[in-house]
Chain A
Amino acid sequence: MAPAPLLEAVDVSFTYGASTVLDRVSFTLGSSEVVSLLGPSGCGKTTLLNLIAGFRQPSSGRLLFDGAPITAPGPERAVVFQSGALFDWLTARQNIEFSLSCRGVAKAERRDVSEHVLELVGLKGAGGLYPYEMSGGMRQRVGVGRVIAARPRIMLMDEPFAAVDVQTREALQEELLRIHAATRCTIVFVTHSIEEAVFLSNRVFVLAKRGGTFDAAFDVALPAPRWDGLNRLDPEFLRLRERIYLTMKAGSPAATTGARAHALT
């Protein structure tokens, strides 16, 4: 176990009216991890992400970031949205500089950061474009760059690549891993794609279809770096996908409410 976890959830529950969205979920995240929250729509994975982001508070349980309860959103836990949620009236560069200008960082320094980030997310030379002048893939790169520029401790990603075509999605996944290698920023990635979860993560949490609990957690022991070496048809890769698929399909018999079945590769 790492000495002090970056993020610690202890029996976190979230109820909305009469329905229980999350039911006593517990886990810890260490620095530089990439963890996917995997599950079908309505399983509570986005709710969990919103709790970590600080948009909402747990109904019960403790959710600690760096040892302190999360009470509000903040740039140390910045979010990449599926919709992009870019500011249409700002250029790519201005979107990326948003967190810096909110903090009152001087223009020259902002410019240095945004130049660096634009290059990191593969948008060198495109800083002057407005969101409506960009493709879907470019917009998501800006969304990632906008968060990277805020220098978060955790980057929270809510199905960021769900709305782009397959080729663009795979390219974005590979670049995300490259960005992760460059920044070592912890990533929590919400997705309903098993392949995406396995490709990106070192751990995958599977959420149960109903009840808002963790069905299982898988460690992904595939080699790193994966962005150019990993064949997505590699037998090991496929085996893990199948195991997760079967777990999701069956619903893990070991997973009683609130408990956490741990399956190792």
Chain B
Amino acid sequence: MPSPRSHLALVLASPLMLLLAWDGATRFSLVEQILLPAPATIGAALWDVLTRGYAGVSVFVHIGTSLWRVLTAFLLAAFVGVSLGLLRGLYPRIDAVCLVPFELIRPIPPLAFIPLFILWFGIGEVSKVLIIFYYAMLVVMLNTQAGVASCPEDKIRAARSLGASPWQVFWRVVFPASLPHVVVGLRVALAAALSILVASELLGGDRGLGFVISDASTFFKTADVFVGIVLIGLIGLIADRALTFTARRIVHWEGKT
């Protein structure tokens, strides 16, 4: 293992080297600016988009639209997914009913459904939110169900032997024991939700960061394509960190037992 200081130096040096190589490649015309703009050009484009908007609409409207879609779908998916996962984990009959239908649609990549959803629900908000919801819900549900199954039999027996009613066994033991799995499900679902969001916005509409990326590429405004990509990446990073930060406080015992 390198010392902490040299470790930090390497961590910081590698992106700097990449940036330098990128800048050099554009400066000496090794690649065409239309395909890969210089870092400074992208920085200027970012500033321009932030201050003057894109396609006549403030960038914060684009960001807000995308965030609204992804958060609506994600929160719905979290609620329905956790509920269904708990029910499937607790009641074998409900699991038996759900098993085949969900196992049939689960391996299908969600993007394959986008054209179908557009056909059914149009290119408006409904199909975008629904497609994200559908996939994020599957992820949360399966992880929650695995969480219920992960609760050790000893803990359930301990609770029963201490006088807990069936409801108390569920609410005070099985549910908290499943939370670490639920949190993993939420993180995976959030990452998936963002990628499905961009894909669904690429296919239609005139708002959102996916639209910015797709529209900019149509008009060869490559720097603006990068601006959209950077903004999506930042949102993903912030959302994941916020979720992890919150989760660590709720499932504080995870990984320590």
Contact = CB atoms under 8 A, between A and B. Distances in A.
A102 B164 contact: yes
Contacts of A73: 157, 160-161
Contacts of B161: 53-55, 73-75, 77-79, 156
B168 A102 contact: yes
A129 B178 CA distance: 21
Q: How large is the interface on B (under 10, 10 to 19, 20 to 34, 35 or more residues)?
A: 20 to 34
Interface string A139-180: 000000011001000001000000000000000000000000
Instruction: Describe B's contact surface by its main secondary structure.
Output: helix
Highest count of chain B CB atoms <10 Å: which of A77, A131, A132, A156 = A132
Interface string B226-257: 00000000000000000000000001110011
B155 to A, nearest CB: 5
B155 A79 contact: no
A98 interface: yes
A246 interface: no
B158 interface: yes
A81 B253 contact: no
A193 B131 CA distance: 60
Interface string B126-165: 0000000000000000000000000010110111111111
Interface string B157-183: 111111111001000110011010000
Given A83-B152, A87-B172, A87-B176, A98 B253 contact: no
B162 A147 contact: yes
A130 interface: yes
A102 B162 contact: yes
Nearest to B165: A102
A88 B257 contact: yes
Given A87-B173, A89-B253, A102-B168, A79 B163 contact: no
Nearest to B157: A55
A131 B154 contact: no
A89 B12 CA distance: 38
A55 B157 CA distance: 7
Contact of B253 (A53, A55, A75, A132): A132
Interface in B179-222: 179
16 contacts: A53-B161, A55-B160, A73-B160, A74-B161, A81-B157, A85-B158, A88-B253, A89-B177, A98-B159, A98-B162, A98-B164, A98-B172, A102-B164, A102-B172, A103-B163, A147-B162
Interface of A: 53-55, 72-75, 77-79, 81, 83, 85, 87-89, 98-99, 102-103, 130-132, 146-147, 150, 156
